Structure 1
Amino acid sequence: MAQTRIGTDAIIASSCAQAQDWLARHYPGITIAADGSRPRLEIQIDYLDGMAVHTLVTDTTLCLRLPCQTDGYVLVTHAEGQLALAADQDELQPLPAGAAVVDARRVTAWSFGPGRYETILIDAARLHGRLSQSIERPVPHRVKFLPAGDSVPSGVRFAGELVRAARRYFNADGGPHAIAPDIVQSVQDAVIFAMLKEIPHNYSVYMARRHTGPSPRHVRRAIEYIHANATAALGLADIANAARVSIRTLQAGFAKFKGFTPMGYVKRVRLEGAHADLRTAGAEQSIADIARRWGFSHLGQFARDYRMAFGETPSETRRGD
């Protein structure tokens, strides 16, 4: 992403070569191909610290190929046309209508039909940090967003309006105008929170069960202990001793602030650990070996719990489906 804290760059191009040379300043190695011999392209990139807003208007079908992936997430807030992408060198697949979030690190190509598009690229470290603060636990692996439905959720729409308002102010009357860093961060937080709250993902269960206000210290101590010892044999007494409270106080704290029982929280952490291992394990490690490593002795129950948690079977995760 650009090093400048806040800035705008734009071009009206009448050829792929012109647009490609301009975009290569922001995304080195990018290539553009168009159906028409003389396309007309309008591209604008607005940088708001760890966020980049891209606006594209095209009168022909474009294919953008990216040799170097960006470590971030792309929120599609507006798509007036046919939009498709390729992930991990696979073929182009159309994106569903409405809001969508894709992992930019996996995208190798974008296809835009004639129309107007707006996307927001958000730095992965910033999104992971905001998510970790919200759910009061580590984010050990990538956020996997699911389709949001046919329409853009109201919170995402509102967050997009905030970004557009910041852009208008920055560029008003010939700009640029200074914007306080705290305001920029607030705009970013609004976008990230709207994404995490309104578009389903693999951490949504924690967002849904997160109660208002920070967890008390004994709950945080218990959570740290669970994460540090998730592959070991854990019982309620072990966790309560680590948190330095009674079992009853521990259970009440988790019920109020996490929406889980302590052992239910342990189970979820173990499922996530198994999920991360299945995505990266070599051929010599079986699903059963990974499940047992994370404390699951009943493989049938593990498979059922896993599918409920992640929307896919352990074997589907392993294949990368």
Structure 2
Amino acid sequence: MVSQPTTQQLVAGLSPYRLFHSKDLDETRSNVGRIFKPHVLGICGKSQRLDARMDHLAIGGISLNRLHYGANVSIEPECLDDFLLVQMPVSGSAQIQCGPRKILSTPSRASIVTPSLPLHMRWQGQCDQLIVRIERPTLETACGALLGHALPRPLEFELGMDLRHGNGLAWRNLVLFLANSQFTKNAAQHALLAAQVEQLLVSSLLLGQPHNYRDALLHTARTPAPRHVKQAQAYIAEHCAEPIGVHDIARHAAISARSLYSGFQQYCGTTPMAYLRLVRLQRVRQDLLQAQSSGTQTSVTQVALAWGFSHLGHFTAAYRRQFKELPSQTLHG
């Protein structure tokens, strides 16, 4: 029986993206501050010795980070303002206060730090955290698109997330997959893939973690008129080479993302993103046929990546289902 990789082994996938390793307090504070924000960092206890390291992988409007201080530390950033953090201890624990709420964050309980609320943290020396950073405008724009209107007040998330069950476990598994996946590394280099990762994480957080707009998001959406679906289809056809997502399409069609889903399911029998993938598959085929007829030197991999397909096995299977031949057969005739 093949053993399953441990959490430590999965987060080790970020180690090639080492930002720094330092035992100096000022250097550590400066490096962490460049990724997050300037803050007050203090060592708690005369016997404590800092041994800090941080890995950082940026993907569009989000980033995956692993941070370990190696000593008991206090962290005082005030409000994060421009971004949200989901902090998931791999080992150890941290006391987190965000606004009036306090929790002890452990490997079974993540903390979701609302950008608009003051933050105070104390990390225990062995605390090693996997941290997802999401830009606040990205999060608020996505929430507004799902609702169909701009947010009248800031998003405020419940501070604790149970990582052992339900939506919390699903979130944990998703982030661990991304931390150790070649897909994520490819996404960091390709805008189309980065947009897919960004949208997946943002939507998962908005629909899975309690916050002040979640009840409204979960209400049944009305089905849009067919003209809205046609507007969305036209937008997809025109912008399929760009890193667009459901929220961009919904905004162009002037409806909520949930209404967009309902419309595509009713009138197209598919989802907006599945429709977008179909259009991109068609564009791949066009490029392969053009390369074959003109004798242009290219490869299936190059064309697939250019259109946002990172997993070549999944791409090849989808291409064959759609066009009844392999992409290599299209390219070489």
Q: What TM-score comes out, normalization by structure 2 length?
A: 0.53
Any conservation in 2 of the 1:162–1:187 contact (CA below 8 Å)? no
Q: Residues 183, 208 of structure 1: CA spacing in aligned structure 2 closer, same or farther, 3 A cutoff?
A: same
The offset of 1:11, in angstroms, is 1.2
C-alpha separation in 2, matches of 1:28 and 1:138: 26
Distance change (3 Å), C-alpha of 1:168 and 1:83: farther
Name 1:120's counterpart in structure 2. Answer: 132
Match of 1:143 in 2: 155
Q: Matched residue of 2:205: which SS?
A: helix
CA-CA distance at 1:37 after TM superposition: 4.3
Deviations 1:256-287 (A, max 9, x none): 99xxxxxxxxxxxxxxxxxxxxxxxxxxxxxx
Contact 2:163–2:172 (8 Å) recurs in 1: no
Aligned to 1:105: 116
* 2:39 maps to which of 11, 27, 30: 30
Shift of 1:28: 5.5
User: Is 1:48 matched with 2:63?
Assistant: no
Q: Is the 8 A contact 1:79 1:116 kept in 2?
A: yes
* Alpha-carbon distance between aligned partners in 2 of 1:68 and 1:112, rounded to the nearest angstrom: 18
2:152 corresponds to 1:163? no
Could you say what secondary structure the match of 2:29 adopts? helix
Which runs of 5 or more residues in structure 2 are unaligned? 1-15, 229-258, 264-333
What number of residue pairs does the alignment pair up?
Answer: 209
Cα deviation 1:226-275 (Å, max 9, x = unaligned): xxxxxxxxxxxxxxxxxxxxxxxxxxx9xx99xxxxxxxxxxxxxxxxxx
Instruction: Sort the Cα spacing of 1:169 and 1:74 in 2 relative to 1 into closer, same or farther, 3 A.
Output: closer
Does the residue aligned with 1:127 lie in a helix, a strand or coil? helix
Deviations 1:100-126 (A, max 9, x none): 322133234322112211111111111
Q: Secondary structure at the match of 2:58?
A: strand
TM-score (ref. length: structure 1): 0.55
Across the aligned residues of Structure 1 and Structure 2, the Cα RMSD in angstroms comes to 3.5
**Distance of 1:17 and 1:58 partners within structure 2:** 13
Bigger mean CA deviation after superposition, 65-74 or 55-64: 65-74
Report 1:127-276 matches (<5 A).
Answer: 127-146=139-158, 147-149=160-162, 151=164, 153-165=168-180, 170=185, 179-211=189-221, 215-216=224-225
| Paired AA for residue 179 in structure 2 | R
- Measured after TM superposition, the shift of residue 156 of structure 1 is 0.9
Deviation at 1:170, TM superposition (A): 3.1
Provide, for residues 8-31 of structure 1, a one-character-per-residue CA deviation record: whole Å limited to 9, x for no partner: 551111232331233344456423
Alignment partners' CA distance in 2, 1:159 and 1:14: 32
Partner SS, residue 133 of structure 2: strand
What SS is found at the alignment partner of 1:128? helix
Show structure 1 runs of 5+ residues with no match.
Answer: 1-6, 172-176, 220-252, 258-321
User: Offset at 1:76?
Assistant: 2.2
1:43-62 CA distance string (max 9 Å, x none):
12222221122211233211
CA distance in structure 2 between the aligned counterparts of 1:203 and 1:218, rounded to whole angstroms: 28
Deviation at 1:178, TM superposition (A): 6.0
Residue deviations 1:51-86, cap 9 Å, x none?
Answer: 122211233211122257331211123352221234
SS in 2 for 1:209: coil
Deviates more, 1:192-201 or 1:38-47: 38-47
Q: Does the aligned pair in 2 maintain the 1:92–1:111 contact within 8 Å?
A: no
Alignment partner of 2:87: what SS? strand
- Aligned equivalent of 1:18, options 27, 51, 63: 27
Q: Which runs of 4+ in 1 moved over 6 A?
A: none
